A and B are shown apart, each in its own frame.
Chain A
Amino acid sequence: MTSRFLLRNFIRGPLTEAAPPPDEGALAELAGRVNQASRARLGRTLSIREVDAGSCNGCELEIHALNNVLYDLERFGLRFVASPRHADVLLVTGPVTVNMREALERTYQATPDPKWVVAVGDCARNGGVFAGSAACVGGVSAVLAVDLHIPGCPPSPTALLKGLLALLEGVSA
């Protein structure tokens, strides 16, 4: 059963779709944030640690989709890792809640240099619909220096991909 499945998929070829171009706005936001030394060290690959700092889970669903066969994030040298100690990039979602602030800061501290912070979604930009809540700190930049914002509620996988490709281009150009 399994082998029949594998064989058919092998013959059919990949379902993966062509990559979108990197986001121009993101390229502009990133310009100058990445120095030559880090570029040399990282090459054309980035390890990403996702941190939900208070999201409704909508952004996580779309970040997950990046791993499905149509977007196949790993073909670009971008991969999600299980520990911040293995990461170059923190992909942070949500209006940072008061209850997640310390965990976010500690995750950042556990990530080795050089490192980048990407704020994903409208909440991560400025709190989104939760802005002003006493239980939230605000956007990610209220806690960490943010290198790139990818807006959307939630951003589509294509929007995420465009932003991450811009990051990859900025880092490895």
Chain B
Amino acid sequence: MNWTRSAVDRETWEQAGERLRSGASSLLSLWGEPGRAHMAVIDSSHELRVLSFACEANRFPSIGRLHPPAIRLERAMRDLAGLEAEGLPDTRPWLRHGGPYPFLPAEGESLHQIPVGPVHAGIIEPGHFRFTANGETVVRLEERLGYVHKGIDALMAGASLERAASLAGRVSGDSTVAYALAFAQAVEVALGAQIPPRAAWLRALAAELERLANHFGDIGAVCNDASFSIMHASCGLLRERVLRASHACFGHRLMMDVVMPGGMRCDLSAEGRQQLVALIALVRSQFPELVELYENTASLKDRTVGTGILTPALAQQFAAGGYVGRASGRSFDARRAPGYPPYDRLKFEVPVVQAGDVNARVWIRIQEVEQSLALIEQILGQLPSGAVHIPVSAAAVSAEGTALVEGFRGDIFAWVRIRASGGVERCHLRDPSWFQWPLLEAAIEGNIVADFPLCNKSFNCSYSGHDL
């Protein structure tokens, strides 16, 4: 992937912040290491730039003061790398807990607070939601995350490539393929490795299976949160079929540790190919009826239409990826641009709608299911032959690489620095949820408390991917 890395002075760093504020470019990530702050941005020409600022006394000019999407990333930079953002509007710790945590005030007559979590009622990840409500209506939601912070940045530093790939695949278990792919691509960029074409195609196959499984799960779960359990049961069955086919293809239901630097750990099995053909036929015969059921059940649509609206302006400002962005008019899809093989050889559409409500986020998923099915068919039809892996070896000097990969939830950014001796010196992985969680706070405002599960599921942000 084309990218540039430059060491910048204070003026250029702040100019980059101004460009983010004006909307001329989008923030991909902000991260730090002792003595240096890094910022990744992308503009309309889809050129990826990493700017690095040498900090004096571990301080750097805050980007969050100019561009709010950076605030939580800068709070995390202090927790993880000890860097202080000068002028950061919110100086509370973020990923590092301990000590009292003052929530933002919401004042007025008849307001009450509802604390929820970190242990939630369902089988879901932990996080805390602090609602301030006026009767049934949510006036403010404030999230507190970081409960599943596992210290992945620190574990990555000094890890062998193999161990780092395994860690990357466990940043967010639902996106294990996408994360392993982002990490592997960044390593391959750093080392100038060219993987065999068949490996790239099989990676795309695994990524589309992962997208299918998650979208089925989400479509069912959103309907379940509106108490429409037929959809949940039927979509849960389709999800299970995808996982079993994935197991037949690559030997693991979630396809963990299947993608690795240099290619794929294993080739597509003959049985896997057969099961995929059967899977596509099954989904093609059952899914349209489910879509029709969703579309024609008035009591269900009553819950999803007009609920939890995210405005296109906010989606744009926060560079929201995935179905969150595409349901609110932002068409960005990393498979298309900047793009990576084999998607340049495949035909697919990127569905976009403007409505921004729960229904729109369900509809984007429905359409993406259809696109993923078509992609899997094309991959099976055109799969090149040959090896699926090449050995990757360290360069003589330390080398850096980046990648931007489209997971089911949105674009995952990866940056890695490989030591001259091999092994990872540092690695930063940014989950799409960093820019989606804050938008959930905006989308729920003015909705009733009882619609929160519906809104939350329609975003389906990752806790683990965000907390690292």
A binding-site residues for B, Cβ under 8 Å: 1-2, 5-6, 15, 50-65, 67-70, 80, 82-84, 94-95, 97-100, 103, 107, 128-130, 132-136, 153-154, 156
Question: How far is it, in angstroms, between the C-alpha of A95 and the C-alpha of B147 when the chains are bound?
Answer: 12
Q: Are B237 and A1 in contact (CB under 8 A)?
A: no
Q: Is B173 an interface residue (CB 8 A)?
A: yes
A15 shortest CB reach to chain B, Å? 7
A-B contact pairs, 19 of them (CB 8 A): A52-B123, A52-B126, A55-B148, A55-B464, A56-B170, A57-B125, A60-B123, A60-B124, A60-B173, A62-B254, A67-B236, A68-B237, A68-B239, A83-B121, A97-B148, A99-B146, A99-B148, A133-B151, A133-B155
Q: Nearest B residue to A103 by beta-carbon distance?
A: B118
Q: Are A103 and B124 in contact (CB under 8 A)?
A: no
Q: Nearest B residue to A134 by beta-carbon distance?
A: B151
B binding-site residues for A, Cβ under 8 Å: 97, 118-119, 121-126, 146-152, 154-155, 163, 166-167, 170-174, 176, 217, 230, 233, 236-237, 239-240, 243, 253-254, 256, 289, 292-293, 296-297, 462-464
Partner of A97, one of B122, B147, B171, B256: B147
Please, which residues of chain B bring their CB within 8 A of the CB of A63? 123
Q: Are B233 and A69 in contact (CB under 8 A)?
A: yes
Question: How far is it, in angstroms, between the C-alpha of A67 and the C-alpha of B174 when the chains are bound?
Answer: 17
Question: How far is it, in angstroms, between the C-alpha of A135 and the C-alpha of B176 when the chains are bound?
Answer: 21
Question: How far is it, in angstroms, between the C-alpha of A64 and the C-alpha of B150 when the chains are bound?
Answer: 22
Please, which residues of chain B bring their CB within 8 A of the CB of A6? 230
Please, which residues of chain A bring their CB within 8 A of the CB of B173? 55-61, 154
Please, which residues of chain A bring their CB within 8 A of the CB of B122? 82
Please, which residues of chain B bring their CB within 8 A of the CB of A156? 253
Q: Are B154 and A134 in contact (CB under 8 A)?
A: yes
Q: Are A50 and B123 in contact (CB under 8 A)?
A: yes
A80 shortest CB reach to chain B, Å? 6
Please, which residues of chain B bring their CB within 8 A of the CB of A59? 173
Question: How far is it, in angstroms, between the C-alpha of A52 and the C-alpha of B296 when the chains are bound?
Answer: 36
Please, which residues of chain A bring their CB within 8 A of the CB of B170? 56, 58, 128-130, 153
Q: Are A54 and B148 in contact (CB under 8 A)?
A: yes
Partner of A69, one of B123, B149, B151, B236: B236
Please, which residues of chain A bring their CB within 8 A of the CB of B148? 52, 54-55, 94, 97, 99-100
A125 shortest CB reach to chain B, Å? 15
If the complex has contacts A5-B293, A132-B155, are A80 and B167 also in contact, measured as CB distance less than 8 A? Answer: no
B135 shortest CB reach to chain A, Å? 23
Q: Nearest A residue to B228 by beta-carbon distance?
A: A2
Q: Are B171 and A56 in contact (CB under 8 A)?
A: yes
Q: Nearest B residue to A107 by beta-carbon distance?
A: B119
Please, which residues of chain B bring their CB within 8 A of the CB of A95? 150
Q: Are B155 and A57 in contact (CB under 8 A)?
A: no
Q: A97-B149, A99-B97 are in contact. List 15 more A-B contacts (CB 8 A).
A: A1-B292, A5-B230, A55-B125, A56-B464, A57-B463, A57-B464, A58-B170, A60-B123, A60-B125, A60-B173, A62-B254, A68-B239, A100-B147, A103-B126, A129-B163
Q: Are A154 and B121 in contact (CB under 8 A)?
A: no
| Of listed B125, B146, B154, B173, residue having the most chain A CB within 10 A | B173
Question: How far is it, in angstroms, between the C-alpha of A132 and the C-alpha of B217 when the chains are bound?
Answer: 33
Question: How far is it, in angstroms, between the C-alpha of A84 and the C-alpha of B121 when the chains are bound?
Answer: 9
Q: Nearest B residue to A133 by beta-carbon distance?
A: B151
Q: Are A1 and B119 in contact (CB under 8 A)?
A: no
Question: How far is it, in angstroms, between the C-alpha of A19 and the C-alpha of B155 when the chains are bound?
Answer: 40
B221 shortest CB reach to chain A, Å? 9
Partner of B174, one of A57, A82, A136: A57
Question: How far is it, in angstroms, between the C-alpha of A6 and the C-alpha of B289 when the chains are bound?
Answer: 13
Q: Nearest B residue to A91 by beta-carbon distance?
A: B123
Question: How far is it, in angstroms, between the C-alpha of A6 and the C-alpha of B124 when the chains are bound?
Answer: 29
If the complex has contacts A55-B125, A56-B464, A61-B174, are A70 and B240 also in contact, measured as CB distance less than 8 A? Answer: yes
Question: How far is it, in angstroms, between the C-alpha of A57 and the C-alpha of B126 when the chains are bound?
Answer: 10
Question: How far is it, in angstroms, between the C-alpha of A51 and the C-alpha of B119 when the chains are bound?
Answer: 7
Q: Are B254 and A154 in contact (CB under 8 A)?
A: yes
Question: How far is it, in angstroms, between the C-alpha of A2 and the C-alpha of B167 when the chains are bound?
Answer: 44
A139 shortest CB reach to chain B, Å? 13
Q: Nearest B residue to A58 by beta-carbon distance?
A: B173
Question: How far is it, in angstroms, between the C-alpha of A46 and the C-alpha of B109 when the chains are bound?
Answer: 45
Partner of A56, one of B119, B147, B172: B172
Please, which residues of chain A bring their CB within 8 A of the CB of B296? 1
Please, which residues of chain A bring their CB within 8 A of the CB of B150? 54, 95, 97, 130, 133, 135-136
Q: Are A133 and B121 in contact (CB under 8 A)?
A: no
Please, which residues of chain B bring their CB within 8 A of the CB of A65? 236, 239-240, 243
| Of listed B118, B172, B292, residue having the most chain A CB within 10 A | B118
Please, which residues of chain B bring their CB within 8 A of the CB of A128? 170
Q: Are A135 and B464 in contact (CB under 8 A)?
A: no
User: Which 6 pairs show the lowest CB-CB distances between chains A and B?
Assistant: A58-B173, A135-B151, A82-B121, A133-B151, A68-B236, A56-B173
Question: How far is it, in angstroms, between the C-alpha of A54 and the C-alpha of B147 when the chains are bound?
Answer: 7
